[in-house]
């Protein structure tokens, strides 16, 4: 049986088609691998950005804490002397006791300090509750932008959306 004219050309096309589809599959696999590697690199870079940002904020907090502690030592020493002076002043001005009952001035000063300490503690608790831990806000913002960009390019069915097809 002889083949119909032109059937040899069809067989050649069929033999060439698998080779062409294999090349197309190879190109798609290469593209997917490249996208996967770039996405992995992007995620790693975002993690490094977050680490760097948190480390920078923690370093600033540590420096501020050290300076604050030094300032606190000086203020505490000055406050100690001021409080002793106020205690003696209260003793002098209080109409209680005699020359040996100067301790009433110290008790009055202690009472004033307890009231001020309670007020300061309540204010500090309120401020601490409002404060937030160091958050890598720049890295989070970048991750949101990347997610929006990627999801804008793909619609719900997994097909390229208008941005992916070049439509407007």
Per the CB < 8 A criterion, the answer to whether 164 and 153 are in contact is: yes
Residue 6 lies in a domain: no
Separation between Cα atoms, residue 39 and residue 35, nearest integer Å: 6
Separation between Cα atoms, residue 12 and residue 14, nearest integer Å: 5
Which residue from 147, 151, 153 is spatially nearest to 165, judged by alpha carbons?
Answer: 153
Q: How many helices (H) and strands (E) does the chain have?
A: 4, 0
Residue 159 lies in a domain: no
Residue 40 lies in a domain: yes
For the chain, how many structural domains are there in total?
Answer: 1
* Per-residue b or e along 102-141, where b marks 16 or more CB atoms closer than 10 Å to that residue's CB: eeebbebbeeeeeeeeeeeeeeeeeeeeeeeeeebeebee
Per the CB < 8 A criterion, the answer to whether 109 and 83 are in contact is: yes
* Domain limits for position 20: 14-152
Q: Helix axis angle, 7-93 relative to 103-130, nearest 10°?
A: 170
Residue 3 lies in a domain: no
Residue 7 lies in a domain: no
Instruction: Report the pLDDT value the prediction gives residue 168, as an integer from 0 to 100.
Output: 41
Instruction: Report the pLDDT value the prediction gives residue 166, as an integer from 0 to 100.
Output: 47
Instruction: Report the pLDDT value the prediction gives residue 167, as an integer from 0 to 100.
Output: 46
Give strand ranges (E) for 62-109.
none
Residue 167 lies in a domain: no
Residue 163 lies in a domain: no
Residue carrying structure tokens 């975002």: 46
Instruction: Report the pLDDT value the prediction gives residue 164, as an integer from 0 to 100.
Output: 46
Instruction: Report the pLDDT value the prediction gives residue 163, as an integer from 0 to 100.
Output: 46
Residue 58 lies in a domain: yes
Low-confidence ranges of the chain (pLDDT < 50): 1-2, 16-17, 162-168
Separation between Cα atoms, residue 110 and residue 115, nearest integer Å: 9
Q: What is the pTM of this model?
A: 0.41
Q: What is the pLDDT of residues 127-146, one digit of tens each?
A: 777 766 767 777 788 888 88
Separation between Cα atoms, residue 49 and residue 44, nearest integer Å: 9
């Amino acid at each position: 049986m002889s083949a119909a004219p032109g059937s040899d050309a069809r067989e050649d096309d069929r033999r060439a088609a698998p080779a062409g589809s294999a090349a197309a599959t190879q190109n798609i696999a290469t593209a997917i691998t490249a996208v996967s590697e770039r996405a992995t690199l992007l995620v790693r870079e975002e993690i490094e950005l977050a680490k760097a940002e948190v480390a920078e904020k923690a370093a600033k907090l540590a420096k501020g804490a050290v300076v604050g502690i030094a300032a606190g030592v000086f203020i505490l020493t000055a406050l100690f002397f001021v409080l002793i002076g106020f205690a003696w002043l209260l003793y002098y001005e209080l109409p209680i006791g005699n020359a040996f009952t100067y301790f009433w001035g110290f008790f009055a000063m202690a009472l004033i300090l307890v009231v001020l300490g309670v007020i300061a503690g309540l204010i500090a608790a309120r401020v601490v509750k409002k404060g937030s831990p160091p958050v890598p806000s720049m890295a989070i913002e970048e991750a949101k932008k990347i997610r929006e960009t990627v999801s804008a390019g793909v619609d719900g069915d997994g097909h390229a959306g208008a941005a992916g097809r070049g439509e407007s």
